[in-house]
Structure 1
Amino acid sequence: MIKQLAVILIFSLITIYFISIIKVKFSSKYFSLRQIIVSENQDITLVGLILTFSPPLIISTFLSFLTAQDKLQTCIAYGFLTSFLIVWPTLFNSRQLLDTRTYKKKNSLYFIYAIYVAIYMLVSYGGYIICSTISSNKVIYEITLPRFLQFYSSLNVLYQNLISNAIWLVIVYVSIFAYKVILKKFVVTTQHL
């Protein structure tokens, strides 16, 4: 029980770290709860919602694969703990963290935070559903390499070439992207020396 809670806490902290990176990298698109409370801020976008809620979905899916038992309880606890760790400073210290206009809407803020926690738990449940779907024998059987190769060899040569070109396109694109990221980091670090 304690070990499971420690694992949930570690994954919650990892999620918060990823969210902080996303918030810095995509500050113009990131969805913040402040956008709901203060209406003068920028509009809420679908991309912002996806950026905000994809880390808990991905990590809860990964956490479901790692846990041997009580997968659903682990995912729900993970979603609750992660969302609570995100909003708890404002819950317990709202007078000093919020401006006066937002503090006047404190009851609405608590309601929004409760919905935020519920959405995080629902997204974590989605991660559990993804894990359960992938773990079922039928899905694993349908996406195995021998079955794909059998399907590939039964295709016309034209379709085989299209599939192989698409695979190579993905490999080359990922390689170029990784090279640019590594090169950019190398150039930035050498300029600071």
Structure 2
Amino acid sequence: MTTVFGVHAQATQGTTALNLQSVIKVRGGNPVYVARGSSNDGTPDDLASEFTLYEDQAGHKPLCSVARRGPNHTLTVTAPDGSVLALLHPPAGGRRYELELPDGTRLVGRVGTVPAWAVYVVLSPLALLYNAASLVGGYGIDWHLPSRTAWRTGGGFGPAPLKFYGITDKYRLRPSQLDPRVAYAQAVLHFWST
């Protein structure tokens, strides 16, 4: 069984005390709200890497918190009871995302999977023609590198616990392989860094 979700920027709303930045829309499930520097925990608003995920828009039901701990820019995903769910390593150069689970499992997500690059290479002549016609027509250039990302364990084979599909901007999660709270936190970091 898989869960499909997307991260979307949240429109500013004056009806809540939270500093809502994004909402995670889960297909067939309830949305998850992302608050950065929420007013009820004293976190400064300008800390882009610290945020809390909530089940409700009012901020009464936290799912997990993500905070920078340590000198190497590692983000710690913590459950409401204080237990560590994962360590997120922000991308160096924007191309490689890593997360580490408490049992030592390390998932690595590289931007642009092999199938995505293969399709890109095959279709790039058509994209070049499209962009040339768009440029002549006054519409500008619309050229994107493959952004599909699959978080896998060391070897990189088998079903990925978490995948991002760049064309649809959707994530596909295997909840039996990865805690949804960790997947949501990684997706928010991924969304904010792209």
TM-score interval, normalised by the smaller of the two chains: under 0.3
Of Structure 1 and Structure 2, which has the larger fraction of its residues in helix?
1
Given the two structures, how large is their TM-score scaled by the length of structure 1? 0.21
Of Structure 1 and Structure 2, which has the larger fraction of its residues in strand?
2
